[in-house]
Structure 1
């Protein structure tokens, strides 16, 4: 039996036409071939498959039993092969895709409500799986374990990134904290006063809080981590009744402030804002479902 690599796949279309038309001339016309060319194709097919395929009968050509079985196989196989070589179409309304995203609890909180509303409105059969952020998450995306990352900062190659939004930082402190009492809420705390405090740090990667700690370390002025927690929500929860300072994305700090219990003040100007992005592996560039999701996320953030 011939192996697939030894078979001339250019014979596949003539084979299908011959078995469906059961006539050399009609098969040739169907494929815009000359009759001699189709006759030669039939001879090659007979040699390759070891079967006559078409035999003359009282009413014209008839299929051999082997040809009947091949014709039935081609009815199933050819539509699948055509799908392989034609552009894939994604219909959200009819799809049942599973989208795997990863981000910190902050980026999930920014996206989840508005994004999920749009996903389920447009593609009710699809599912969204959010996984936690951890120190090997970029490698997970590279190895195909997660489809899309939503994060602050930049992603390493070979991942591609698209900027989504920019967010400044604020400090969440207890209402009786010295920073809350001594500073006007509209005025950023000085770096010196900030560094004199005890801090609750969100462990984004390797015990550091990404942009915040990189900015301070670049100045040679690292802060003291009195408490380290895995989530932004845990940092906010640690503040009431303590001397701790939680440095959080501004909108997140405002959302988690409790009037009379905690206060939000602008973070030192030296920390600056953070650009948030979504990142993915280049193999997903042209995946229609993934492109739909990326466009949906960009639109959700832009209009949110």
Structure 2
């Protein structure tokens, strides 16, 4: 590697491009991240391959895979650039001027709780930042963050693999929703009444749905589930005018607080709260735009916790 001894011969911008390519593993996404054209990024990659005497990224089945040498370079390069950004300060980052697309993964719970406020914040402070939201199972979300297909995942992740970092957003508790007319003169259901009613279960393989039945079993009880559905978005509508009870994460019920036909109350037994977090790859740790987005998401969550 004699020609790497002389740093003067290296255009530092090339290393910034390499860092983005190794993070994104995708030429057009790296280009969007760097505000460069796709041909310019491809040209930079060609120069980097000559410089390192290595293919660096290899196309395999429609995807770019990092070579062994690239995997060696990536953490060193990222750390070096991170330190340089600290030295030169984040002065170059201005949310109002940033043009970028972020890909976020979250369940429809996350979309309902965080997204409305986050979108308003972005339109006000960072109108050039676009969001693409996708929804998948917890396992798929973790994989997407690991593969760099997704910038940020929001959800309940009890055990995270190495190289992923998590920031707490909400400590979520459970609450019940019922039709007000179905419980005349009552503000809540006791255990007996709760168990005598049919229930709606939102089963989105998100882990946040089994807690209720686990807690009931621990207390030696079982409830009858009359309706199971994959998205809780429609669940509250099933409650109106029926004897059904819905027990879900409290923040999911915020939109129904002022609905006079419905009543929200504490469950008559203890269900442990669970942490709702945001998860990102440590590679994205020092990226100023990513830091700004994470801070925006936490800000929204804090305002929810009021």
For 2:4, the equivalent position in structure 1 comes to 9
Query: What do the CA deviations read for 1:165-220 (whole angstroms, capped 9, x no partner)?
Result: 2233221112232xx237x31x5x33443233211111220797143344334545
Contact 2:107 2:135 in 1 (8 A): yes
**1-structure distance, mates of 2:233, 2:154:** 17
SS of match in other structure, 1:173: strand
**2-structure distance, mates of 1:206, 1:253:** 17
Change (3 A) 1:90 1:201: same
For 2:112, the equivalent position in structure 1 comes to 109
TM-fit CA distance, 1:112 = 1.8
**2-structure distance, mates of 1:238, 1:256:** 13
**Structure 1 ranges of 4+ moved more than 4 A:** 81-86, 217-220, 257-260
TM-fit CA distance, 1:90 = 3.7
Change (3 A) 1:227 1:215: same
Q: What root-mean-square deviation, in Å, do the aligned CA atoms of Structure 1 and Structure 2 show?
A: 3.5
SS of match in other structure, 2:184: helix
**2-structure distance, mates of 1:225, 1:155:** 29
**1-structure distance, mates of 2:218, 2:146:** 28
SS of match in other structure, 2:301: helix
TM-fit CA distance, 1:246 = 0.9
Query: What do the CA deviations read for 1:76-117 (whole angstroms, capped 9, x no partner)?
Result: x89xx9999543854323221111112222322221222122
Query: Matches of residues 228-267 of structure 1 in structure 2 within 5 Å?
Result: 228-256=228-256, 259=259, 261-267=261-267
SS of match in other structure, 1:215: helix
Structure 1: gaps (5+ residues) = 17-72
Number of equivalent positions: 234
Q: Which moved more, 1:284-293 or 1:86-95?
A: 86-95
Is the counterpart of residue 268 in structure 1 residue 268 in structure 2? yes
**1-structure distance, mates of 2:255, 2:10:** 67
Change (3 A) 1:241 1:222: same
Query: What do the CA deviations read for 1:221-271 (whole angstroms, capped 9, x no partner)?
Result: 443322111222211011122221111233433522674532222222312
TM-fit CA distance, 1:9 = 2.5
SS of match in other structure, 2:137: coil
- TM-score of the superposed pair, with normalisation by structure 2: 0.64
Change (3 A) 1:165 1:216: same
Query: What do the CA deviations read for 1:9-29 (whole angstroms, capped 9, x no partner)?
Result: 23462799xxxxxxxxxxxxx
**2-structure distance, mates of 1:151, 1:109:** 12
- TM-score of the superposed pair, with normalisation by structure 1: 0.64
1:142 to 129, 143, 146: 146
**2-structure distance, mates of 1:299, 1:208:** 23
Q: Which moved more, 1:121-130 or 1:132-141?
A: 132-141
For 1:121, the equivalent position in structure 2 comes to 124
For 1:300, the equivalent position in structure 2 comes to 300
For 1:285, the equivalent position in structure 2 comes to 285
Larger Cα-atom Rg: 1
SS of match in other structure, 1:172: strand
Query: What do the CA deviations read for 1:48-79 (whole angstroms, capped 9, x no partner)?
Result: xxxxxxxxxxxxxxxxxxxxxxxxx99xx89x
